[in-house]
A and B are shown apart, each in its own frame.
Chain A
Amino acid sequence: MFLGQKQSALATAVGISAAYLNLIEHNRRRAGSKLLQDLAQELKTDPRSLTEGAEAALLGALREAGQRMPEIAPELHRSEDLAGRFPGWSALVAAQHQRIRDLEQLVEALSDRLTHDPELAASLHEVISAVTAIRSTVGILTGGGEIDPEWQLRFMGNMRDEGRRLSSAAQGLVEYLEPGADRDMAPVVPGEELAAFLDQRDHHIAELEGLDDATPEQVAARIDALTAQVGGLETSAAKDVVRHHFQQYLDDAVAMPLAAFQAARAETLGDPSRLADLFDQPLPAVMRRLAFVPAWDDHQDVGLVSCDGSGTLSIRKSLPGFSLPRFGAACSYWPLYQSLSRPGHPLRTVVEMPGPTPRRFLCQSVCLPRDALRFDLPPVHEAFMLIEPLDDTRTGGSDGPVLPVGSSCRVCPREGCAARREASLLSADAR
């Protein structure tokens, strides 16, 4: 809340969305000077007071940039001097540091994609098979030795067929890779269309809030309209996945209405178990609500992941510094997976992600049966893990040891990890 004014009201007054204002508030978007002035006018305060947070963020970014390359030994203790005397250069260093981090995440996602993308794997397999057949056949035709004319003809025909196949496979690969930056990170499987849609909105769906009194027809129409906004849903199965997500969001929103939830969130400091008690809701529903509604006041945004018993991630809301694998399996040490083996037993663990500046997060996880229990089938369990960033001043209420984790083996630099499944692209061994 800004000086007693509701976030949504303030956003409306200055002509931006509440979600965008939330991003600005947490220094994830930069406000231009005109917007700053409008905000200050609306809040009846000095614009400079609004940039204090930005200055703190700048200093933090400068220090992180310095820690990235300790071998250069930058004067970290003089970051404040630097920012004060050369604000432009400081902003440039911070922006470049952020750019490097973004590019690292892009490389991580692309390498993940190269390893696990089924479409790319199938295309490459096609190319390699054609090349193998051609190489082997050319070897026969040019390697000397008698070849029966009938075999010669057959091999020439094979060469022609494989040449065409290679040409077509190569063209497919080029089309796949060529469309440029926009396509680079475009979704490649139906579930990802939904993830991309949700990422754009920071997982908050304002259209599904406040529908407590809506008729079933109105609800269905709203969900259909939202589903139509998610691009690239070609199969009915993909549409069902999307509708299920929206329906679940709606159920949570009705059970925990936004205003009441935000108030309770502030009162309980975002404690999932107290919120579950207050609203008489299961922990997974509360975790979804905590992750999907905009962060409140000074609370930082939280991330969420969920998986079923196979370990397949379904909900993926990432956080800066806690990246999630786009394909394939995540780190075995995530408390999410430990919860799978302890159904009904909530776990609270502090984890540390590797990186130039290792970051700590409070992970609260729980695993429960997804559906009603039956006698004729084993239960299908689903685990959820709420991820909250920690800083030096917050321990997250956990006195236990800090658990070193990663994103996925492929991009994790930790050496000697007992849970490693495959070599890291970042290790010397892989190079």
Chain B
Amino acid sequence: MTKQVLVIEDEPNIVAAISFILSRDGWTVGTHTNGETAVQAVLDAKPDALILDVMLPGRSGYDILQDLRAHDVTRRLPVLMLTARGQRTDREQAERLGVNRFMTKPFSNAEVVETLNELLPG
């Protein structure tokens, strides 16, 4: 059974690239672009891992992560957070909220694949 990842990102061309490389690596990829409905999308999709952008329309990735950590079913969901802001305070905020990995844009394709495979080996 293939592993499922949900990509929550509002930039369509970044979504297309990430979806392609992860699909090629054997992942089943779902996508979502709206911050306001993101938490429900995760609860509905029940992915094995989540790629979450910080700056989303409607709601920030930090708020979404905070809500996910409050739900029993998503409390331990592996989350890779993507952001254009790489300041230490941003990373610290994400870590405080329980992120598993934090990656600043622009990233390489290999980095994304490797990180996700580290989060969900096998």
Contact partners of A124 in chain B: CB under 8 A? 84
Q: Contact partner of A162 among B13, B18, B110, CB < 8 A?
A: B13
Q: How far is the CA of A151 from the CA of B18 in the complex (A)?
A: 13
Q: Contact partner of B13 among A139, A143, A151, A161, CB < 8 A?
A: A161
Taking the complex as formed, is A422 at the interface, i.e. its CB lies under 8 A from any CB of chain B?
yes
Within 8 A of A (CB), among B1-60: 11, 13-14, 16-18, 20-21, 24, 55
Within 8 A of B (CB), among A94-144: 124-125, 128-129, 131-133, 135-137, 139-140, 143
Q: Is the CB of B20 within 8 A of A133?
A: no
> Which residue of chain A is the closest to B10 with respect to CB atoms?
A129
Known: A135-B106, A422-B89. A125 touches B55 (CB 8 A): yes
A237-257 vs B, Cβ < 8 Å mask (1 yes, 0 no): 000000000000000000000
Q: How far is the CA of A265 from the CA of B69 in the complex (A)?
A: 59
Q: Contact partner of A132 among B21, B55, B89, B106, CB < 8 A?
A: B106
Q: How far is the CA of A136 from the CA of B9 in the complex (A)?
A: 14
Taking the complex as formed, is A158 at the interface, i.e. its CB lies under 8 A from any CB of chain B?
yes
Contact partners of A158 in chain B: CB under 8 A? 13, 16-17
Taking the complex as formed, is A299 at the interface, i.e. its CB lies under 8 A from any CB of chain B?
no
Expressed in whole angstroms, the minimum distance between the Cβ of B32 and any Cβ of chain A is 17
Q: Is the CB of B13 within 8 A of A137?
A: yes
> Which residue of chain A is the closest to B108 with respect to CB atoms?
A139
Q: Is the CB of A137 within 8 A of B89?
A: no
A interface, by DSSP: helix, strand, loop or mixed? helix
A3-26 vs B, Cβ < 8 Å mask (1 yes, 0 no): 000000000000000000000000
Q: How far is the CA of A135 from the CA of B107 in the complex (A)?
A: 8
Contact partners of A315 in chain B: CB under 8 A? none
Q: Is the CB of A133 within 8 A of B55?
A: no
Taking the complex as formed, is B96 at the interface, i.e. its CB lies under 8 A from any CB of chain A?
no
Known: A129-B11, A143-B109. A137 touches B17 (CB 8 A): yes
Contact partners of B13 in chain A: CB under 8 A? 133, 137, 158, 161-162
Q: Is the CB of B16 within 8 A of A132?
A: no
Number of residue pairs spanning A and B whose beta carbons lie under 8 angstroms apart: 60
Q: Is the CB of A133 within 8 A of B84?
A: no
Taking the complex as formed, is A319 at the interface, i.e. its CB lies under 8 A from any CB of chain B?
no
Q: How far is the CA of A128 from the CA of B106 in the complex (A)?
A: 7
A277-299 vs B, Cβ < 8 Å mask (1 yes, 0 no): 00000000000000000000000
Expressed in whole angstroms, the minimum distance between the Cβ of B102 and any Cβ of chain A is 15
Q: Is the CB of B108 within 8 A of A135?
A: yes
Q: Is the CB of B105 within 8 A of A128?
A: yes
Taking the complex as formed, is A83 at the interface, i.e. its CB lies under 8 A from any CB of chain B?
no
Known: A128-B106, A131-B106, A135-B108. A140 touches B17 (CB 8 A): yes
Taking the complex as formed, is A155 at the interface, i.e. its CB lies under 8 A from any CB of chain B?
yes
Contact partners of A76 in chain B: CB under 8 A? none
Contact partners of B14 in chain A: CB under 8 A? 129, 132-133, 136
Q: Is the CB of B88 within 8 A of A132?
A: no
- Most chain A beta-carbon contacts within 10 A, residue among B17, B24, B105, B110: B17
Q: Is the CB of B84 within 8 A of A125?
A: yes
Contact partners of A30 in chain B: CB under 8 A? none
Contact partners of A133 in chain B: CB under 8 A? 11, 13-14, 17
What are 19 residue pairs bridging A and B, where the CB atoms are less than 8 Å apart in the complex? A125-B55, A125-B84, A129-B84, A131-B105, A132-B84, A132-B106, A132-B107, A133-B13, A133-B17, A136-B17, A136-B18, A136-B108, A140-B109, A143-B109, A151-B20, A155-B16, A155-B17, A158-B13, A161-B13
Known: A154-B16, A155-B16, A423-B88. 10 other contacts (CB 8 A): A128-B84, A129-B84, A129-B105, A131-B106, A132-B84, A136-B14, A136-B17, A136-B107, A136-B109, A140-B21
